[in-house]
């Protein structure tokens, strides 16, 4: 994409900007996932970023040349590249090109399987933070007992810190994401803590508890108060708000626990001839279970709080995982999510702060008057 | 127990002090668990705390009267009692009596199914922090791929804060616990973070990384560096150190994930007649799996950093769970764990700090000399 910034050109809501490079499995997997997705989403188009000589044959092989434009980018951001290096040396990478396509309004949402730190740093640089956002966050989907099958948790690790105002912003952004990404009209938001009692937790959590509670009407969500780690997959909440340190540990702990249980389950079915027969018969049941908690179905950490939406797909995603991330991106693109989110946060954050200041003023008055 | 403090009486290493009250299932379950335990540990004895009129028939029913002394305590700490209330009003409770029995040297380890906050507050008040410990911690066992089947994680929620010195103390205490509770000669200690690279994480984690690394020889452990949430069940580490906020969220997230998978597994086996037959055949395999990750086997959060050892058993523990906590308590009692831990922390913490100060002095010298 060599066009300059074109604020007057309307965003092409049916075009996705796809970084073909940087995933562990190479561009063939990304293009295969793209083909799967395009086959299902008939109106969708894509701009695919990477070395043109490598991508063209892949596109032709899948017969999707008519719906995909290649943006030639010779360089690749490697998994081991540090964010600082990526910012200095990244201008000719497919990642940079993919981000700039949404910056320029040629596509609605950017998707990359590349290095998370690099993608966030480059997205911050090129897309800038949305008004009212101090710390962008990564929202992830968590398998849950809710009808949609998922809860939203943020921040999953964009920033290891979050103060009370950041947590309020996360609540607003998470609610907007649940509405546009999971079709939940009035999401229920909870704040992650070590207990549900009001007196528990760190000081900033108690303040955030007040701020989020006050912002519920403006943000069109229901605030359910403090929730615990065990509530992440629960049906009593749709959006779980936490700082990126806690969120990242929780996410990896959940994944690690699921993977341990999967291993133990497989090994317990190899215990004896009878259990191997049982395993054969149980295959259907286990497949249903696997489908329900398949990490490929929840593929796609969404960067929230920038001027456009960027989705980070797992580096190890296969074609099914890439297609899942593209479907999520497309749904958000169709809903005009970026603009809705920006409007929501900008207005809600300032209103909530006004409310909080009024509340503080009232409190001090009542102290004076007894 | 009406005896005064008797520092000159040697600790009875084969006597456990058991709070019969405060669990969700009442004293009958605790006494049943005690009977199971005593049946397996032939030299063990117990002091059982609670209303004598209620406990005596239970003891007689299980035929363990010869090995159990009842300490009459009329009051019970309820699950809903706040720690401050427990401290003010708790003198006649079974919990207070159970703690005082180890304080007085009549028993080696105290076990209670009661309210965690109350038990910690009362233990702090009556047993006091060990020398060199600023914040006591709760260590829990985590199902893992290690030969022992478990890893140790601390702090699981005694304190929501932990600075660099606390994290060092946790490393020393956790290593000592793994040695005495899990028979691991030289435990491998890891510090929980959002990535394994040295530049990642909060400032206090980077300092703790240095402190723990320097203390490895003195503490007789191997330091493996930063670990992530996914490493909690891994075979590359035996002891995972973190603050009580993160640890509590991780613990509950792991439990919540395991319970979600268990539910989904059960429902996927009820899908069709064929899958119900499969479930029947798979019962043995599923039982093996359940046994491996049975929370009752890992029952018992150990309070570390007090002058005696206190074990918090799950409030909802059944007799098997209570027996598991008693076996753990007995193992620690037999190993003289409390004294070993106190000696280890007191000497190691001061030595490590000396080393760190020398290191800092060397660094500043080398800066000056280039």
pLDDT tens, residue by residue, B122-140: 999 999 999 899 999 999 9
Q: How confident is the model at residue A343 (pLDDT cuts 50, 70, 90)?
A: confident
Instruction: Compute the distance between CA of residue A107 and CA of residue A348 in angstroms, rounded to an integer.
Output: 27
Half-sphere exposure of A7 (CA within 13 A, CB side): 2
Among A324-328, A349-353, B312-316, name the one with the lowest average pLDDT.
A349-353
Q: What is the pLDDT of residues B249-302, one digit of tens each?
A: 999 999 888 888 888 777 776 766 766 776 666 677 677 666 666 655 666 799
The answer to whether residue B293 neighbours chain A at the CB level (below 8 Å) is yes
In DSSP notation, A302-360 reads EEESBSSEEEE--TT--HHHHHHHHHHHHHHHHTTHHHHHHHHHHHHHHHHHHHHHHHH
Contacts with A, B 218-277, CB within 8 Å: 228-234, 242, 244-246, 248-261, 263-265, 268-269, 271-272, 274-275, 277
Nearest to B264 among A271, A275, A292 (CB): A292
CB distance from A282 to chain B under 8 Å? yes
| Cross-chain Cβ contact A269/B282 below 8 Å | yes
Residue A194, chain B, CB below 8 Å: the answer is: yes
DSSP, collapsed to helix, strand or coil, labels residue A165 as helix
* pLDDT band, very low/low/confident/very high, at A294 (cuts 50, 70, 90): low
Nearest to A228 among B231, B252, B257 (CB): B252
> What local confidence, expressed as pLDDT, does residue A9 receive?
45
The CA angle B134-B138-B140, to the nearest 5 degrees, is 150
Strands (E), chain B: 15-19, 45-50, 68-72, 109-112, 137-143, 150-154, 188-192, 222-227, 239-241, 301-304, 309-312
Q: Which residue has the higher pLDDT, A145 or A2?
A: A145
Decide if A289 touches B, using CB distance below 8 A.
Answer: yes
Confidence (pLDDT) at B79? 87
- Per-window interface: B 137-156 vs A, CB < 8 A: 143-145
Beta carbon pairs, A and B, within 8 Å: 185
pLDDT in tens, B166-223: 999 999 999 999 999 999 999 999 999 998 887 788 889 999 999 999 999 989 999 9
Alpha-carbon distance B146 to nearest alpha carbon in chain A (angstroms):
12
Show Cβ contacts of residue B225 under 8 Å, excluding neighbours closer than 6 positions: B190, B191, B196, B198, B209, B213
Contact A232 B257 (CB under 8 A): yes
Task: Tell me what pLDDT residue A22 has.
Answer: 84
Q: Strands A150-154 and A137-143, how do they pair?
A: antiparallel
A75 in contact with B at a CB cutoff of 8 Å?
Answer: no
B363 and A CB contact within 8 Å? no
Whether the CB of B360 is below 8 Å from some CB of chain A: the reply is no
Name the minimum distance, in Å, from the CA of A79 to any CA of chain B.
Answer: 13
Q: How far apart are CA B187 and CA A224, in angstroms?
A: 42
Binary contact (B281, A285; C-beta < 8 A):
no
The domain over range A132-302+337-370 is classified in CATH as 3.40.50.150: no
Share of chain B above pLDDT 90, in %: 61
CA–CA dist A17, A45 (Å, integer): 9
Is residue A288's pLDDT more than 80?
Answer: no
> Which of A252, A271, A283, A295 has the highest number of chain B CBs within 10 A, making it the mutation to test binding with B?
A252
Instruction: Give the class (CATH, top level) of B1-128+306-335.
Output: alpha beta
pLDDT for A4: 41
The CATH number that domain B132-297+337-370 falls under is 3.40.718.10
Domain ranges of chain A: 1-128+306-335, 132-302+337-370
Distance from CA of B214 to the nearest CA of A (A): 25
Closest in A228, A252, A292 to B230, CB measured: A252
Average per-residue pLDDT for chain A = 87
State the pLDDT at residue B128: 96
Q: 3-state class of A218 per DSSP?
A: helix
Which of B236, B368, B291, B319 minimizes the C-alpha distance to A267?
B291
User: With 70 as the cut, is the pLDDT of residue A117 above it?
Assistant: yes
**ipTM of the complex as predicted:** 0.84
User: Hey, are the CB atoms on B229 and A285 less than 8 Å from each other?
Assistant: no
Q: What average pLDDT does the segment A234-240 reach?
A: 96
| Separation in Å, CA of B19 to nearest CA in chain A | 24
Is residue A118 within 8 angstroms of chain B, CB to CB?
no
- How many whole angstroms separate alpha carbon A18 and alpha carbon A329? 10
A97 vs A11 pLDDT, higher one: A97
What proportion of chain A, given as a percentage, has pLDDT over 90?
61
In this prediction, residue A266 carries a pLDDT of 75
Whether A285 sits inside 8 A of B271 (CB atoms) is yes
Sort out which chain B residues have CB atoms less than 8 A from A275's CB and list them: 281-282, 284-285
């Amino acid at each position: 994409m060599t066009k300059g910034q074109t604020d007057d050109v309307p965003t092409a809501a049916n075009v996705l900007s796809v970084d073909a490079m940087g995933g562990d499995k190479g561009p063939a997997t990304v293009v295969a996932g793209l083909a799967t997705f395009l086959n299902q989403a008939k109106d969708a188009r894509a701009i695919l970023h990477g070395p043109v000589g490598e991508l063209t044959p892949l596109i032709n092989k899948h017969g999707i040349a008519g719906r995909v434009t290649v943006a030639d980018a010779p360089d690749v951001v490697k998994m081991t590249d540090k964010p600082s290096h990526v910012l200095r040396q990244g201008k000719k990478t497919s990642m940079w090109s993919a981000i700039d396509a949404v910056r320029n309004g040629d596509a609605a949402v950017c998707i990359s399987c590349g290095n998370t730190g690099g993608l966030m740093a480059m997205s911050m640089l090129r897309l800038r933070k949305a008004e009212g956002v101090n710390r962008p966050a990564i929202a992830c989907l968590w398998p849950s007992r809710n009808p949609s099958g998922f809860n939203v948790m943020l921040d999953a690790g964009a920033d290891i810190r979050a103060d009370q105002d950041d947590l309020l912003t996360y609540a607003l952004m998470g609610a907007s994401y649940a509405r546009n990404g999971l079709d939940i009209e009035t999401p229920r938001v909870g704040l992650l803590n070590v207990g549900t009692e009001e007196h528990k937790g760190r000081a900033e959590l108690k303040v955030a508890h007040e701020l989020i509670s006050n912002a519920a009407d403006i943000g069109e969500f229901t605030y359910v108060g403090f929730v615990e780690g065990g509530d992440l997959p629960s049906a009593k909440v749709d959006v779980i708000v936490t700082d990126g340190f806690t969120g990242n540990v929780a996410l990896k702990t959940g994944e690690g626990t699921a993977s341990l249980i999967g291993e133990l389950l497989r090994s317990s079915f190899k215990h004896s001839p009878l259990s191997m027969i049982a395993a054969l018969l149980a295959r259907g049941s286990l497949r249903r279970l696997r489908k329900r908690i398949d990490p490929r179905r929840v593929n796609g950490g969404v960067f929230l709080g920038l001027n456009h939406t960027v989705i980070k797909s797992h580096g190890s995603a296969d074609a099914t995982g890439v297609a899942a991330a593209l479907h999520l991106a497309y749904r958000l693109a169709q809903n005009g999510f970026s603009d809705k989110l920006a409007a929501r946060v900008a207005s809600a954050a300032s209103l909530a702060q006004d409310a909080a200041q009024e509340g503080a003023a009232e409190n001090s008055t009542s102290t004076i008057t007894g």
